[in-house]
Amino acid sequence: MLTEKKREFIQFMLGAGVLRFGNFVTKSGRSTQYFVNTGNYKTGAQLSRLGSYYADLVAQCTGGDFDAMFGPAYKGIPLAACCATALWQEHRMDKPYLFNRKEAKDHGEGGSIIGYSPKDGDRVIVIEDVITAGTAVRETVPILKACADVSIPHMFISVDRCEVGQTPGMTAIMEVEKEFGIKVHPIVTVVDIHEYLKETGTDPSLLSAMEGYMEQYCVLP
């Protein structure tokens, strides 16, 4: 259901140039009519507002029952940082965050993890942008498990594309939940974006193309 909060978030992504329409190719190699690039957030005001959206969802879904949040390099780093800030400012949840380097540092403090050092038994949530094929998740889990014996109960993302993964009838997110036991929470889904486009009277050809894409590649609720 397209709520007012979801509608605001879609408008926010459009205004920041993060959600765009045209002809794109996803990480999974599929041609798509829309693309989400959180790397286009580039101002303090945008990051502050983005952090609020993530923090609201984190607070709602976890009630603060976690020990730290992880932002995978590179796009997840500012997402985790702005979420941590908003959690404190708006929900009075003071939670540490950590992120990884793409390449381990062999001088100074060394290592590949920056920020909080996870301990055995910690519940670490992941703050990401979009899951398309689940590749990034499969890279993230070993990184966190190499730090300590942690559990990863939740992942928070901007958009659920609802695209089929490697298993017929299952989205990449369904596969992640089944394979790793991670519950994935999106701020909005492709269904919400489609409903928004219908509401705003977008170009019928774009709407038709997007519907064709969804019919071919998506597993819808």
| pLDDT tens-digit map of 174-191 | 999 999 999 999 999 999
- Please state, in angstroms and rounded to a whole number, the distance separating the CA atoms of residues 175 and 173: 5
Judge contact between 184 and 173, C-beta under 8 A: yes
- Would you say residue 108 has pLDDT above 70? no
Quick one: tokens of 120? 């055995």
| pLDDT tens-digit map of 43-102 | 999 999 999 999 999 999 999 999 999 999 989 999 999 999 999 999 999 999 999 987
What three-state secondary structure class fits 137? Answer: helix
pLDDT of residue 111: 64
Domain ranges of the chain: 4-213
Catalytic positions? 105, 107
Stated pTM of the model:
0.92
pLDDT of residue 106: 53
DSSP secondary structure of 63-104:
TT--SEEEE-TTTHHHHHHHHHHHHHHHH-----EEEEEEEE
Label residue 139 by pLDDT band (50, 70, 90).
confident
CATH label, 4-213, candidates 3.40.50.620, 3.40.50.2020, 2.60.40.420, 3.40.50.10790: 3.40.50.2020
